Amino acid sequence: MTGQGVVSSVGIGQDAFWSALKKGDCGIGEVSLFPTDELYITIAGEVKGFDPKERCGSKQFLLADRYSQFAGCAAQEAVEQSGLEMPLKGEEAYRAACIIGSGIGGISTMEMSYKALFEEKKRATHPLTLLKTIGSSAAAHVSIEYGITGPCFGVVSACSTAPHSIGVVYRMIREGMCDLGIGGASEASLNWGTTRAWQAMRVLSPDGLFPFAKNRNGTVLGEGAGVFVLEEYEYAKTRGANILAEIVGYGMTSDAADMVNPSIEGASSAMQIALDDAGLSPGEIDYINAHGTATTVNDVNETRAIRKVFGNAANNLAISSTKSMHGHCLGAGGGVEAVAAIKAIEENIIPPTIGFHEPDPECDLDYTPNEAREREVTYAMSNSFAFGGLNAVLIFGPAPA
């Protein structure tokens, strides 16, 4: 990992984002992006003050959906940090990948188009409506921006989209298909219709996102992006790149059981596969950035899955859910949270789980309540467990010596 970029409700750019997490700042508040009439859920993790003219590089992003603009912003930060000379050219361009996913793509563009047709009675939608809505638009825009002519597509796996996207690039590089790649995910699905749909499922909290706490009563929708530059080690070393961290393990499974209720077996298997891929024992993991959505079933099942995999070592883990601060960014969640995991390794600081005032007896691990904590972190795990039972786990380690 030689570059990373993030867009979130607590900060745009990794410095602002990480500073906010360490302070326990909360980006969840009253919605301003759309009217909340007829909604009883009126809070979200909105990205405030985002100007694509300043954040996204070329003008192509000005005509894109907000989710593609977030991806462009995060990619720009990641590429600048990596120090790669862009745009790529020739054989190098074909040896690069761009895999940027989204759980739902340009759904706000779609909602505005339906409003134009059915409410405002217009005869047609904006001519770029189709291009703005499709789930591969962000990947295409970023590949155009940086001249990436190798594999380019979007991944869709609900709340596991980001780690799946990053994992695809990881595997492409490891298997010799590519030398480098841009991987991650973006989401900008905060609108009236999406909130109504989530509200109907009775999984959203009107109060806040309180993972693992006794008073948790649902999750809170967020938006944002997490995008990374990955390189083959010798390739990065030859060009003198500053290596931030190394992906050492990746695991993915499917529950094949239920669309909504997560399974302990699926989550624990994904964690174990990631550990096996990394060649690590459970006791070597120092920090887990948990999926931690603050829904009743998910938090208990994730706790039990961790205990199943880690055994007695679970009692020595530092765990937190940074969703408590930035909200549930859906497909982008695992990308935003991967930035937190890598920064934890870099600075030996565990970000907190805020709003944790009374523990749930069934959630009996160390969730780093309310305040960040100093601790040596060599290996960090990031969990993502999506609707449909789609599980993805990444393990990060320090830059190779």
- Residue 145 CB-half CA count within 13 A: 27
**Catalytic pick from 56, 98, 159, 363?**
159
141 is an active site residue: no
Alpha-carbon gap, residue 146 to 286, rounded angstroms: 36
Alpha-carbon gap, residue 182 to 225, rounded angstroms: 13
Which residues are CB-contacts of 364 (< 8 A; sequence separation ≥ 6)? 303
Inter-residue contact 25 to 10 (CB < 8 Å) = yes
Alpha-carbon gap, residue 212 to 227, rounded angstroms: 27
The gap between the terminal CA atoms of the chain, to the nearest Å, is 14
CA distances from 60 to 68, 72, 75, 142 (A): 10, 10, 14, 10
Alpha-carbon gap, residue 219 to 217, rounded angstroms: 7
Which residues are CB-contacts of 162 (< 8 A; sequence separation ≥ 6)? 101, 184, 185, 226, 331, 332, 333, 334, 335, 336, 338, 384
291 is an active site residue: yes
**Catalytic pick from 56, 291, 329, 363?**
291
**Catalytic pick from 73, 328, 329, 363?**
328
Active site residue ranges: 159, 291, 328
